[in-house]
Amino acid sequence: DTGVSQNPRHKITKRGQNVTFRCDPISEHNRLYWYRQTLGQGPEFLTYFQNEAQLEKSRLLSDRFSAERPKGSFSTLEIQRTEQGDSAMYLCASSQDRLNSPLHFGNGTRLTVT
Amino acid sequence: ELKVEQNPLFLSMQEGKNYTIYCNYSTTSDRLYWYRQDPGKSLESLFVLLSNGAVKQEGRLMASLDTKARLSTLHITAAVHDLSATYFCAVVLPNTGNQFYFGTGTSLTVIP
Q: Which of A47, A90, A98, A103 is most worth mutating to test chain B (most B CB atoms within 10 A of its CB)?
A: A103
How high does pLDDT run on average in chain A?
A: 93
A55: chain B residues, CB-CB within 8 Å: 98
- Rounded CA gap, A45 and B5, in Å? 16
pLDDT attached to residue B96: 67
Mean pLDDT confidence for A24-48: 93
pLDDT tens, A96-112? 988 788 999 999 999 99
- Report whether pLDDT(B43) > 80: yes
Mean pLDDT confidence for B26-42: 90
pLDDT attached to residue B99: 82
Q: Is A72 exposed, middle or buried (0-12, 13-18, 19+ CB in 10 A)?
A: middle
- Report whether pLDDT(B75) > 80: yes
Mean pLDDT confidence for B58-67: 96
- In total, the C-beta contacts within 8 angstroms joining chain A to chain B are 53
- Report whether pLDDT(A60) > 70: yes
pLDDT attached to residue A76: 98
Strand spans (E) along chain A = 5-7, 10-13, 19-24, 31-37, 44-50, 53-57, 65-68, 75-79, 88-95, 104-105, 109-113
pLDDT attached to residue A2: 78
pLDDT attached to residue A61: 82
- Nearest-CA residue of chain B relative to A31? B98
